[in-house]
Structure 1
Amino acid sequence: MSALPNLLDLIEAATGGTLAMERFVHGELAVLRELATPGTPASGWDGTVEFADPPEAELRDSDRSTWTLAVGREFEEAARHAADVVALIDALREQAGVRRGTRLTRGVADGAEDVWAPVRGTF
């Protein structure tokens, strides 16, 4: 069996999975924001969250730079790019005559673009 189907599945899982995790974090942050300020928008906060290694990471010789969770238009643009990547992967599958792996599933809500959801035990 060719490695191509597995490679395409991995690229799709990385692309769609990253988007799914970011959507999940956005949802969790919205719940926390509502708990912190019920019925009112969080004043002075644009939704930006910066992630960094904890201080003990220095003990592991970790020097990862911080990264920011995309919000608003930036996140919408990232979602469009992810959909473009997956459309390209679908086209490559069609050209190569290979199918998506059975462990990789996508849900489509109300005719909208593909929606990925994090599911435990999928991979």
Structure 2
Amino acid sequence: MDPQIDDKALESALEESLGELTSVPKAVSTEDFASVVDGALEAVGGKLLFSMCVANNGTDEHVAAASVGEGESRQFLLLSLPTQGGSLKVETASKSDNPVAGIAAAYAGLMDALKVAA
């Protein structure tokens, strides 16, 4: 994957990879969401940082944070899907208004520090 890929192209590539969850008419389990997201991220050279279920604006949703790239070109993504099914949302964490977005870079930094310490 080109380290200089723009945000929109990255979001679009992930949305295409996650086609099977884009408009799911039924409830989606946490395990299914994490598994499909992990597979799609692998296709674009990304890594799943974490996945959780949260309440956002009165709706329960699955949210996954991911990183793509390394070093200066590393980007953080947020993928979200209502637990009852619906449209998958893929966005860069820097442009997201989801409260979980701020955790992505901090979590990645923590994991980097723990790798060095180990």
Q: Give me the TM-score of the superposition, normalised by structure 2.
A: 0.30
Higher helix content, 1 or 2: 1
Q: Give me the TM-score of the superposition, normalised by structure 1.
A: 0.29
Higher strand content, 1 or 2: 2
**Which structure exhibits the higher relative contact order, with contacts defined as CA atoms closer than 8 Å and separated by 6 or more residues?**
1
